[in-house]
Amino acid sequence: MFNTLSDRLSASFKRLRGKGVLTEHDVDETVSDIRRALLDADVALPVVRSFTKQVREKAYGAARSEALNPGQQVVKIVNDELIEILGGAERELNFATKGPTVMMLAGLQGAGKTTLAGKLGQWLRTEHDKRVLLVAADLQRPNAVTQLQVVGERAGVDVWAPEPGNGIGDPVEVARTGRDHAITNGYGVVIVDTAGRLGVDTEMMEQARAIREAIDPHEVLFVLDAMVGQDAVQTSVAFRDGVGFTGVVLSKLDGDARGGAALSVRGVTGAPVLFASTGEGLGDFERFHPDRMASRILDMGDILTLIETAEKAYTEDEAKDLQSKLAQGKFTLEDFLTQLNQIRKMGSMKKLLGMLPGAGQMREALDNFDESQITRIEAIVHSMTPAERADPSILNGSRRARIARGSGTTVQEINSLVKRFEDARRMMQSMSRNGGALPSMGGGGLPGSSKHSGARQAKRQAKKRRKFGNPAKQKQWEAAQAKKKQAGASTPGSAFGLGESTPAPTMDDLPDDVKRMLGRM
């Protein structure tokens, strides 16, 4: 959603990084760029004015201090201000000390309230071990009650729906009886789904106020469609004044809109953003962390969320077992298939890669990434026998043709997968033995190169030794080569012509094509 804004901010900061000293003129130019980027992103004008004012004042101070890395100082200032307008310190939910916690959802029709009720219910059930009851108080929209029942069943939570809806029934009474039913039957959380309209009107506001007075909720969550833009901000102000809410939930945050609503709602309404809906699946739902969202906007990644996602898919024992297999060289295609399934549990590969720092620089590659490739890889491995998965070296021509027919792929795809797997296994095995760093390689080759590769290289160079008809030229050329050889030998024990004190290269130092290969694995 924030791709355009992120690209423009990154371009502004890139110009700053090339400057040794930051002047107030540089600050003014950068702030002007930021202001235009925010306005183009459809951020509310009062928020833009407040944001740029704070950035300018703090950046002036950084310019006068003449400190090192002025560009990094400005990035830090912008990051801090983004965190502030996105909500500052995150707030925890207000859970009831006794009895069920009552939550009420409000918002316009089409914002995704009903689906979000299921997502929130599943999140509370799995993350907080709460027994959740969804209350179908949207009796206006056609089939809203049926939709909530379907969503509740998928989320694994119960639904209170005494009325059929479609214009029949009293939503205030349904909300009240739903809360009473939760109290009687020992539910931990009640989520009341209310009706919306295509626009703000008096009838909707009165009904929402009546429901709030009837159930006295601990949280009133305003569901805001992040793709609507400035109109969403006006709607949030109308709901704040008409009904009142304690927090905001951003839906459709995975869309391609400019994202102004997400950056504006906190500054305009004063209510914090508590959750974000990032996809169509029930699991595409997460707590909203202002600091992490600011980091994503500035293309600095979101490693914490990535780690938390991985921890949900991997247990500590599984991680240790994987590391042990890599170190011993026992990692097989069967293990590889298991890892693919674990990655699938973590969600979309595009979304995971997008959390890495600098993901904006490979956005085109991410956009063109085909998620179905993972399915094709699974089909190939599933078409192998257990012996073939354990030892790919036995895959001869006839076996590969059989696997290609069984998986609906080609022999070339089989060859490519096996080669990438062997290269990746060899590299990860070497890295696991060296604490995450690649070992020294005398010939500059990949891990697993022959120890005689240096000798072979010397022989090739000897064959290519130049010969001149002029003895003086020949002698001059040989002296220059000897000087180069002596200079290269002056740093013994180095991996890539570096001194002994130079640390071994890590994953960040790998060639781009190797990184892409590992990414595909």
Mean pLDDT value of segment 331-346: 75
User: Which comes out higher in pLDDT, residue 63 or 202?
Assistant: 202
Q: Are 48 and 105 in the same domain? A: no
The total number of structural domains that make up the chain = 3
- Which region holds residue 275: left if phi is over 0, alpha if psi is between -120 and 50, else beta? beta
User: What pLDDT, on a 0 to 100 scale, did the predictor assign at position 489?
Assistant: 43
Domain for residue 207, yes or no? yes
Residues making up the chain, counted from first to last? 521
Tell me if 502 sits within 8 A of 402, measured CB to CB.
Answer: no
State pLDDT tens for residues 114-153: 999 999 999 999 999 999 999 999 998 999 999 999 999 9
Q: What is the pLDDT of residue 234?
A: 79
Q: Which one has a higher pLDDT value, 35 or 42?
A: 35
pLDDT of 450 > 70? The answer is no
- Averaging pLDDT over each range in 58-67, 331-340, 490-499, which range is the top one? 331-340
Look at residues 274, 297, 320 and tell me which one is the last residue of a structural domain. Answer: 297
Decide if pLDDT at 212 tops 90: yes
- 10 vs 49, residue with greater confidence: 49
Residue 521 has pLDDT above 50, yes or no: no
Q: Which of 67-71, 308-312, 382-386, 511-515 has the highest mean pLDDT?
A: 382-386
**Residue 74 or residue 388, greater confidence:** 388
Question: Residue 354: its pLDDT value, please?
Answer: 63
In a domain, 197, yes or no: yes
Q: Which domain CATH number covers 223?
A: 3.40.50.300
Residues 243 and 286 reside in one and the same domain: yes
Residue 500 maps to a domain: no
The parent domain of residue 351 ranges over 309-434+512-520
Output the pLDDT for position 262: 72
CA 37 from centre of chain: 22
Q: What is the CATH number of the domain that holds 403?
A: 1.10.260.30
Q: What is the mean pLDDT of residues 160-188?
A: 93
With a CB cutoff of 8 Å and minimum separation 6, the contacts of 405 are none
Q: Please name the amino acid found at residue 390.
A: A
Give the per-residue pLDDT at 286. Answer: 86
Is residue 340 domain-resident?
yes
CA–CA separation, 512 and 470 (whole Å): 44
Read off the pLDDT of each residue in 150-158 and give the average, rounded to a whole number: 95
Joined tokens for residue 130: 């709460």
Q: How far apart are the first and last CA of the chain?
A: 27
- Assess if residue 293 is contained within a domain: yes
At 473, give phi and psi (nearest 5°).
-65, -40
Q: Read off the pLDDT band of 356 (50, 70, 90).
A: low
User: Across residues 203-214, what is the average pLDDT?
Assistant: 90
Binding residues for GTP: 107-114, 193-197, 251-254
Most confident of 138-152, 377-391, 433-447: 138-152
Q: Which residues contact 229 (CB under 8 A, 6 or more apart)?
A: 42, 257, 258, 260, 261
Q: CA-CA distances (angstroms) from residue 393 to 270, 313, 328, 388, 400? A: 63, 31, 18, 8, 11
Q: How confident is the model at residue 73 (pLDDT cuts 50, 70, 90)?
A: confident
Residue 502 located in a structural domain? no
Average pLDDT, the chain: 76
Residue 133 confidence (pLDDT): 96
**Cα 151 versus chain centre, distance:** 25
What pLDDT, in 10s, does the model give residues 235-291? 888 888 888 899 999 888 776 656 677 778 888 888 888 998 888 888 888 888 888
Q: Identify whether 64 is part of a domain.
A: yes
The band of 493, judged by pLDDT with boundaries at 50, 70 and 90, is: very low
Q: Is the pLDDT of residue 422 over 90?
A: no
Mean pLDDT computed over 398-420? 90
Binding residues: 107-114, 193-197, 251-254
The encoded tokens of residue 503 equal 């640390």
Question: Are both 229 and 146 inside the same structural domain?
Answer: yes
CB within 8 A of 488, min separation 6: which ones?
A: 497
